[in-house]
Structure 1
Amino acid sequence: MIVVSAASGALGRLVVEQLLIRIPAKDIAVAVRSPESVPGFAARGVQIRRGDYDVPGTLPAAFEGADRLLLISSPELDPIRRTSHHKAAVDAARRVGVGAVVYTSFLDADTKADGVTAAHHVTEQALRDSGLGHTLLRNPFYSEAFLNAGLNTAIAGGELWDGTDGRGINTASRADLAEAAARVLTEDGHLDRAYDFTGARWTYPELAEVLTQVSGKPVRCRQRSEPTAGIQGWLEHQVRSGALERQTGDLGHVLGRASTPLHRAVRELVPGSGS
């Protein structure tokens, strides 16, 4: 039995879809805060269990009988609450004798214990201390944080504004990361390993060229002099600092193929661009 926690989220749903390709639905269970949020999975024969990170008492029953548990990190952004969620999940997995835990960590969580990686760093240590067999999937930022429907505005206006100083970006799509997780859950040879996942590195000037190619309209990359507000501005600052330029071959190794290239990701976003 494979149990997927937080399965009602975007990544969790994609993982379950990948598992359904590989194993019978009766061998999959999902642990979700609100069981009514995943009626489609129930209709296909997937077991639906209540497992709410905010209600730790629900987690042991949600994880019961799991040969492998995919512990998808809590959506909570506050590192203290997030750490509490993860520690409760690890404790529940240990108490009910889960066979092995696959945890969606974050890139560099093994060496950095602050900011985005704070809760992940602590959770990785909690898994080591638990005695449970486990695999760490250190994911990068999702490509969707940068490559989204907003690119159609750049095409319409002929300008792609760049606040990254042209530095490299090593994101990966949710779809690729979900497939990698499903492979780790269903294949042998991944236990007690840590994978540092990155996609193929790309830049905003390269993105402007791809937008031009797929749309048939010229798109010029323009450097922004003032920082963007909000989360987008924070992400651009991370890129400018070089924090997203690291490259590894781990994602391609697990997938058995290259990660989704920039041009294909963009084609899926631009109406009428074809495949």
Structure 2
Amino acid sequence: MIAVSAASGALGRLVIDRLRARAEVVAVVRDPVRAPAGVPVRRGDYDDPASLRAAFEGVERLLLISSPELQTPRRIAQHLAAVTAAADAGVGGIAFTSFLGADTAATGLTEAYHATEQAILATGLPYTFLRHPFYSDAFLPRVTGGELMSSTAGRGLNTAFRSDLAEAAANVLESRAHLGRAYDFTGPLWSHPEVAEALGVAYREVPDTGPGPMSWINGRIRAGELERQTPDLEAVLGRPAETVVSRLVAGSVHDA
């Protein structure tokens, strides 16, 4: 049996959708009312270790989806509670949705992911680390006033669509061949000028509007920190990952 934690979130629902016809899967959620339909549901709250222990009972493979909690100390505590519960329940293996750089950086954005990876390793349980990039879904550019604007200096982004990352997770959960592996997932590199050209609109570089998460991310993009590429996502998918340009060309990103 495969369990997917945080299964009521966007990623969890996509993984459940891909597994429900291929394997015995159970959704572990904080609020059963919000659970995906069509699969067994168990209550498992990252802030309630006892509920996690019960939810993971009899589970052969667990997909531990990272908590949406923004406060790092609390997120670490939640993750460690889930890892301890999995070990106590005798889970056969853990796949964890980590983040790129978690293997080398123990502070800042990757601190909680690094701590969780280390905790999983300390249990001695079979594991697979799925280190995600930023989601393309959150970065899709829009055309405004007949032009596309960004503050990225034309540098590349290695984002990946949540749907591809969910399919990769489902593939990993179905095969023991992925145990003991750490995958650094990156999507096909793209840039805002490239998107503008594909859409046939003008591109304009604009300054950051001020402090905040997006301004911080734009700074990383301008520094080239999101241009890293690996073959891992394509290899686990068994096909090329979806590109941002193809998604946008197929849809509509122009203003009304």
- C-alpha distance in structure 1 between counterparts of 2:165 and 2:6, whole Å: 15
Instruction: Indicate the residue corresponding to 2:131 in structure 1.
Output: 138
Q: Please point out which of 166, 172, 186 is paired with 2:174.
A: 186
Instruction: Indicate the residue corresponding to 2:22 in structure 1.
Output: 22
Residues 145-184 of structure 1 mapped to structure 2, 5 A cutoff: 145-147=138-140, 151=142, 154=143, 156-184=144-172
Q: Please point out which of 112, 122, 141 is paired with 1:129.
A: 122
Q: Deviations over 1:73-105 (max 9, x none)?
A: 010011110100010000000001000000000
User: Which runs of 5 or more residues in structure 2 are unaligned?
Assistant: none
One-letter amino acid of the counterpart of residue 5, structure 2: S
The number of residue pairs the alignment matches comes to 254
- C-alpha distance in structure 1 between counterparts of 2:53 and 2:41, whole Å: 14
Instruction: Indicate the residue corresponding to 2:223 in structure 1.
Output: 241
- C-alpha distance in structure 1 between counterparts of 2:221 and 2:208, whole Å: 15
One-letter amino acid of the counterpart of residue 161, structure 1: M
One-letter amino acid of the counterpart of residue 15, structure 2: V
Q: Which moved more, 1:225-234 or 1:96-105?
A: 225-234
- C-alpha distance in structure 2 between counterparts of 1:172 and 1:162, whole Å: 19
Instruction: Indicate the residue corresponding to 2:190 in structure 1.
Output: 202
One-letter amino acid of the counterpart of residue 103, structure 2: D
Q: Which has the higher helix share?
A: 1
Residues 163 and 228, structure 1, Cα contact 8 Å, conserved in 2: no
* Structure 2 residue 218 is the aligned partner of structure 1 residue 221: no
The SS at the match of 2:15 is helix
Instruction: Indicate the residue corresponding to 1:109 in structure 2.
Output: 102
* Structure 2 residue 28 is the aligned partner of structure 1 residue 31: yes
* Structure 2 residue 11 is the aligned partner of structure 1 residue 11: yes
Instruction: Indicate the residue corresponding to 1:63 in structure 2.
Output: 56
One-letter amino acid of the counterpart of residue 35, structure 1: P
Q: CA RMSD in A?
A: 1.5
| Percentage of identical aligned residues | 53
- C-alpha distance in structure 1 between counterparts of 2:127 and 2:250, whole Å: 34
Q: Deviations over 1:144-197 (max 9, x none)?
A: 12116xx1xx1x511111201111100000000000000000123100100000
The SS at the match of 2:239 is coil
One-letter amino acid of the counterpart of residue 55, structure 1: D
Q: TM-score, normalised by structure 1?
A: 0.89
